[in-house]
Structure 1
Amino acid sequence: MEPVELLNAVLGSSHWAGRRAMVHPLGGDTPATHLQAGKYPPEAFSGKPVLREFSIFIDESGDFGPFQKHSPFYVLSLVLHDQSDDISRHLDSIHEGLRARKLPQDHAVHTGPLIRREREYRWMGLSDRRSIFRMLVDFVHRCDVTYHSWVFSKRELDDSDRLVSAMSRELGAWIRAEYEFFARWERIVIYYDNGQKEITNLVNSVFNAHLSVEVRNVVPSDYSLFQMADLCCTMALLRKKIEKVGLSSSERDFFSTPKASAERALKKGYFKTLDRKWFGD
């Protein structure tokens, strides 16, 4: 029996029912109080110090429809944050940056439309859109957070059932590989916006099959770390497109500079920044 299962067997699920977290409206959840471990804390089984609360923000890019030239991949990204690491000053910085660019401080940046100059960004020039993108990348660079992404080929996984099965296998294998890390936490909270029911079902089934987690519905504009997950999806997609199919004209226009092609600018700058934040193998 795994340590978490043994702990639940000893204490019962009601032991955890009174645990709560304070929700910071723009910065994610913060523990309201020190969470007591009870009579049989996890370190009694593992011999390792107990950590408190861990957050995972999940976003996706793509759809579950058939392969199409404009939508060849499906991306799943997780951003991971130890709630004891204070990132409030970085959150304040990004909110100030949004206000300085005449956007609400709780604006949810969507990097795909930002690059393509769509939706709320259609009135913005290239330099303004680039500055918002760089602001997000700088936020990732400065925050003590990590991430993991998977990119799935819809050409190879040619129906939704095969795609969901592949995602379930990959996510389950990753959790098992990192189980020793996850089992140390008293509380794991997963945030997803329920944007696609397939991902909602996968998150609930796969995570709870391996760990004891709490899943919360998130409004993207309320959590800057959820917007980081959106950024990670976009960067993983761009990396795969460079490798397999090539960038679109709007992507080349957005990232190219007088001294470097879009591909070189991404590889030498943006990808390197995110690579330093990679969690797992």
Structure 2
Amino acid sequence: MSDLGIFIDESGDVGSNSEFYLITMILHDQASSIEQQEQKLCYELDLLDVHPEEAVHSGPIVRKEDEWKDVDLEKRRKVFFKMFSFMRLSPISYKTFSVRKRECADRFALRGRLANELGSFLRDNLAFFQGFESVIVYYDNGQALVTDLINTVLCAYLTNVDVRKIAPSEYRLSQTADMVCTLELMREKSENGAGMSKSELIFFESRRRLSKVFLKTLKGLEFPKS
């Protein structure tokens, strides 16, 4: 039996700075190599003057923030699409848990909602997870809520779990989880009337293009893949 890698990232916070809270799990059977896809991505990023060891953070690329604040739109789109192509061509699937925070009275209710959804997902797919010799969870310990869910809910349902603290720059699949969070947040905004920001609309050009080019393709990677 092979090992299952689970790469986790989140979008949002437990405070009032975001409307949605999302947690994404990238599922990768580690018997299926992604070396070829990683090499292709590193080569393409190098051509765009992006150092292969740099983490590609999707949100700042879209919103023109942080290290991307002085980078022109064309280059940001190219980098984003290269990362998206890497994700599309890799042997992975994903699951995102999304909560509209105004539906939860407080952070404890938010934690309970996410714990219930994660628990239900694990319970419904227990045979899949038990088909692996071990489950290796990769997370950067960015938020205490996610760390808590990993150490309680996930470890309660699955045996032989190895939880590893990582830096996102170490693993492309960690950056993939970040990209999925970014795109699934765009889906929530687009489908629930929350409204996309000006920078998001500029980057994706239109809701129609966002849906047709990115969200439709992404849906095909959702676990279980058809």
CA contact (8 A) 2:9 2:139 kept: yes
Match of 2:171 among 223, 247, 270: 223
Q: Distance in 1 between matches of 2:179 and 2:105?
A: 26
The alignment covers a number of residue pairs equal to 223
Match of 2:200 in 1: 251
SS state at 2:2 partner: strand
Match of 1:115 in 2: 62
SS state at 1:155 partner: helix
Match of 2:14 in 1: 64
Shift of 1:218: 1.1
Match of 1:146 in 2: 93
Deviations 1:192-232 (A, max 9, x none): 00001111111111111111111100110000000000000
Q: TM-score, normalised by structure 1?
A: 0.77
Match of 2:210 among 245, 248, 266: 266
Unaligned ranges ≥5, structure 1: 1-50, 257-261
CA contact (8 A) 2:140 2:168 kept: yes
Aligned-residue CA RMSD (Å): 1.1
Match of 1:87 in 2: 34
Q: Distance in 1 between matches of 2:114 and 2:65?
A: 29
Q: Distance in 1 between matches of 2:137 and 2:41?
A: 22
Shift of 1:52: 1.4
Q: Distance in 2 between matches of 1:276 and 1:154?
A: 27
Match of 1:167 in 2: 114
After superposition, residues 1-281 of structure 1 pair within 5 angstroms as 51-66=1-16, 68=17, 71-212=18-159, 213-244=161-192, 245-256=194-205, 262-280=206-224
Q: Distance in 1 between matches of 2:106 and 2:43?
A: 43
Deviations 1:77-104 (A, max 9, x none): 0000011111101001111222222121
Q: Distance in 2 between matches of 1:240 and 1:90?
A: 29
Q: TM-score, normalised by structure 2?
A: 0.96
Which portions of structure 1, spanning 4 or more consecutive aligned residues, are displaced by more than 3 angstroms? Answer: none
SS state at 1:81 partner: strand
Q: Distance in 2 between matches of 1:107 and 1:98?
A: 10
Q: Distance in 2 between matches of 1:123 and 1:145?
A: 33
Q: RCO greater where, 1 or 2, for CA within 8 Å and sep 6 or more?
A: 2
Q: Distance in 2 between matches of 1:276 and 1:198?
A: 28
- The structure having more radius of gyration, on CA atoms, is 1
Q: Distance in 2 between matches of 1:88 and 1:191?
A: 18
CA contact (8 A) 2:93 2:224 kept: no
CA contact (8 A) 1:55 1:80 kept: yes
Q: Distance in 2 between matches of 1:247 and 1:264?
A: 13
Unaligned ranges ≥5, structure 2: none
SS state at 2:102 partner: coil
Q: Distance in 1 between matches of 2:167 and 2:202?
A: 31
Deviations 1:8-43 (A, max 9, x none): xxxxxxxxxxxxxxxxxxxxxxxxxxxxxxxxxxxx
